[in-house]
Structure 1
Amino acid sequence: MAKDKAKKPRRPRAETPKGFRDYFGAEVSARNAMLATIAEVYHRYGFDPLETAAVETLEALGKYLPDVDRPHAGVFAWQEEDDGDWLALRYDLTAPLARVAAQHRQELPTPYRRYAMGPVWRNEKPGPGRFRQFYQCDADTVGAPSVAADAEICAMLAETLEAVGIPRGDYIVRVNNRKVLNGVMEVAGILDPADQDRFEHERGIVLRAIDKLDRLGEDGVRALLGAGRKDESGDFTEGAQLSDGQAEIVMGFMAAGRETGAATCARLRELVQGAETGETGVQELETIAALLDAQGFGPDRIVIDPSVVRGLGYYTGPVFEAELTFEITDEKGRPRQFGSVAGGGRYDDLVKRFTGQAVPATGVSVGVDRLLAALHARGRGGAEAHGPVVVTVMDRDRMADYQAMAAELRGAGIRAEVYLGNPKNFGNQMKYADRRAAPVAVIQGEDERARGVVQVKDLVLGARIAEDATLEEWKARPAQYEVARGDLVTEVRRILAGGTG
Structure 2
Amino acid sequence: MAKDKAPRRPRAETPKGFRDYFGAEVTERTEMLGRIAEVYHRYGFDPLETSAVETVEALGKFLPDVDRPNEGVFAWQEEDSDWLALRYDLTAPLARVAAQYRNDLPSPYRRYAMGPVWRNEKPGPGRFRQFYQCDADTVGAPTVAADAEICAMLSDALEHVGIPRGDYVIRVNNRKVLNGVMEVAGILDPSDPERFSHQRGIVLRAVDKFDRLGDEGVRALLGKGRMDESGDYTKGAGLGAEQAEVVMGFMAAQGANGEATAANLRGLVGPSAIGSEGVRELETIAELLDAQGYGPDRIIVDPAVVRGLGYYTGPVFEAELTFEILDEKGRKRSFGSVSGGGRYDDLVKRFTGQSVPATGISIGVDRLLAALRAKGRIGQEAAPGPVVVTVMDRDRMADYMAMVGELRAAGIRAEVYLGNPKNFGNQLKYADKRASPVAVIQGGDEAARGVVQLKDLILGAEIAAAASHEEWKAQPAQTEVARADLVAAVRAILARRASGG
- Kindly indicate whether the alpha-carbon contact (under 8 Å) linking 1:67 and 1:73 is maintained by their aligned counterparts in 2: no
In structure 2, how many angstroms separate the alpha carbons of the residues matched to 1:14 and 1:318? 46
1:131 aligned residue: 128
Output the CA distance in 1 between the equivalents of 2:378 and 2:481: 34
Segment of structure 1 superposing worse, 8-17 or 443-452: 443-452
Whether the aligned pair in 2 keeps the contact of 1:41 and 1:156 (CA below 8 Å) is yes
Q: 1:347 is matched with which residue: 316, 340, 344?
A: 344
SS of the residue 1:386 aligns to: coil
Q: Does the Cα contact within 8 Å between 2:60 and 2:69 map onto a contact in 1?
A: no
State the partner residue of 1:29. Answer: 27
- Equivalence map 1:159-198=2 (5 Å): 159-198=156-195
Identity percentage of aligned residues: 79
- Provide the rounded CA distance (Å) in 2 between the counterparts of 1:220 and 1:478: 65
SS of equivalent to 2:239: coil
- Secondary structure of the corresponding residue to residue 420 of structure 1: coil
Equivalent position to 2:58, from 35, 57, 60: 60
The answer to whether the aligner puts 1:148 opposite 2:145 as a matched pair is yes
**Residues 497 and 291 (structure 1 numbering): CA distance in 2 closer, same or farther, change over 3 Å?**
same
- Cα distance 1:471–1:195, how it changes in 2: closer, same or farther (>3 A)? farther
For 1:305-316, list aligned pairs within 5 A: 305-316=302-313
Q: Equivalent residue of 1:116, what SS?
A: strand
Query: Structure 1 CA distance, aligned partners of 2:124 and 2:309?
Result: 20
**Separation of aligned partners in 2, 1:425 and 1:247:** 74
Mean alpha-carbon deviation: is it higher for 263-272 or for 488-497?
Answer: 488-497
The answer as to whether partners of 1:182 and 1:191 remain within 8 angstroms in 2 is yes
Equivalent of 1:157, from 154, 157, 163?
Answer: 154
Moved over 6 A (4+): none
Return the alpha-carbon distance in structure 1 between the equivalents of residues 338 and 453 of structure 2: 47
Say whether 1:219 aligns with 2:216: yes
Return the match for 1:410 from 392, 408, 411. 408
| Contact 1:153–1:363, Cα closer than 8 Å, also in 2 | yes
Gaps of 5+ in 2: none
Aligned to 2:4: 6
Match of 1:102 among 93, 96, 99: 99
Pick aligned residue for 2:316 from 291, 303, 319: 319
Please name the residue that 1:497 is paired with.
Answer: 495
What is the SS of the residue equivalent to 1:498? helix
Q: Note the C-alpha offset of 1:36.
A: 0.9
> Larger deviation: 4-13 or 292-301?
4-13
State which of 121, 124, 136 in structure 1 corresponds to 2:118: 121
Alpha-carbon RMSD across the aligned residues, in angstroms, is 1.5
1:433 correspondence with 2:443: no
Contact 1:178 1:316 in 2 (8 A): yes
1:451-487: CA deviations, max 9, x gaps?
Answer: 2211111222333444444444433332221111111
Task: Give the C-alpha shift of residue 298 in structure 1.
Answer: 1.1
Q: What SS class does the counterpart of residue 261 from structure 2 fall into? A: helix
Q: Counterparts of 1:82 and 1:368 in 2: how far apart (Å)?
A: 37
| Distance in 2, Cα, partners of 1:362 & 1:34 | 23
Q: Distance in 1 between matches of 2:176 and 2:465?
A: 60
Instruction: Output the CA distance in 1 between the equivalents of 2:270 and 2:496.
Output: 65
Mapped to 2, the partners of 1:294 and 1:475 lie a distance apart of 64
Q: Deviations over 1:204-253 (max 9, x none)?
A: 11111111111111111111111111111111111111111111111111
| Cα distance change on mapping 1:332 and 1:178 into 2, 3 Å | same
Equivalent in the alignment of 2:460: 462
- Which string of whole-angstrom CA distances, capped at 9 and with x for unpartnered residues, describes residues 45-86 of structure 1? 000111110011110110101121687241111111132x11
User: Is 1:338 aligned to 2:323, yes or no?
Assistant: no
How many Å apart are 1:333 and its aligned residue?
A: 2.1
| Number of equivalent positions | 498
Alignment-derived partner of residue 40 in structure 1: 38
Q: Displacement, 1:100?
A: 0.7
Using the size of structure 2 for normalisation, the TM-score is 0.97
**Structure 2 residue matching 1:106: 3-state secondary structure:** coil
Rounded to whole Å, the distance in 1 between the matches of 2:107 and 2:332 is 47
User: In 2 relative to 1, CA 378–466 (structure 1 residues): closer, same or farther, beyond 3 Å?
Assistant: farther
Give the secondary structure class of the aligned counterpart of 1:125. coil
Q: Which residue of structure 2 aligns with residue 267 of structure 1?
A: 264
The match for 1:76 is: 74
Task: Give the letter aligned to residue 196 of structure 2.
Answer: F
TM-aligned CA distance change 1:70 to 1:229, over 3 Å = farther
Matched residue type, 1:392 = T
Which deviations, in whole Å up to 9, do the C-alpha atoms of 1:269-310 show, x marking residues without a partner? 111011110110000000001111111111111111111111
> Quick check: 66-75 or 422-431, which moved more?
66-75
Match of 1:487 among 485, 488, 493: 485
C-alpha contact (below 8 Å) 2:59/2:69 kept by paired residues:
no
For residues 347-366 of structure 1, what are the structure 2 equivalents within 5 Å? 347-366=344-363
Cα distance, 1:379–1:446 mapped onto 2, change above 3 Å: same
Query: Separation in 2 of the partners of 1:139 and 1:474?
Result: 55
Task: Report the TM-score, using the length of structure 1 for normalisation.
Answer: 0.97
Distance in 1 of aligned mates of 2:479 and 2:444: 16
Q: Aligned AA for 2:259?
A: A
3-state DSSP class of the match of 1:72?
A: coil
Distance change >3 Å, CA 162–CA 464, structure 1 → 2: farther
What residue identity is the alignment partner of 2:266? R
SS in 1 for 2:496: coil
**Counterparts of 2:375 and 2:481 in 1: how far apart (Å)?**
40
Alignment check: 8 A CA contact 2:222 2:238 kept:
yes
Question: In the TM superposition, what is the alpha-carbon distance from 1:447 to its structure 2 partner?
Answer: 2.3
Deviation at 1:497, TM superposition (A): 2.1
Asked if structure 2 preserves the Cα contact closer than 8 Å seen for 1:75 and 1:123, the reply is yes
Decide whether aligned partners of structure 1 residues 489 and 278 sit closer, same or farther in structure 2, where only a CA change above 3 A counts.
same
One-letter code aligned to 2:48: L
Offset, 1:373: 1.2
Q: Is this contact kept in 2: 1:64–1:73, CA < 8 A?
A: no
**Worse overlay, 238-247 or 68-77:** 68-77
Name the CA distance, whole Å, in 1 between partners of 2:468 and 2:369: 36
SS at match of 1:53: coil
Residues 17-38 of structure 1: CA deviation (Å, up to 9, x unaligned): 1111111111111111111111
2:280 alignment partner, SS class: helix
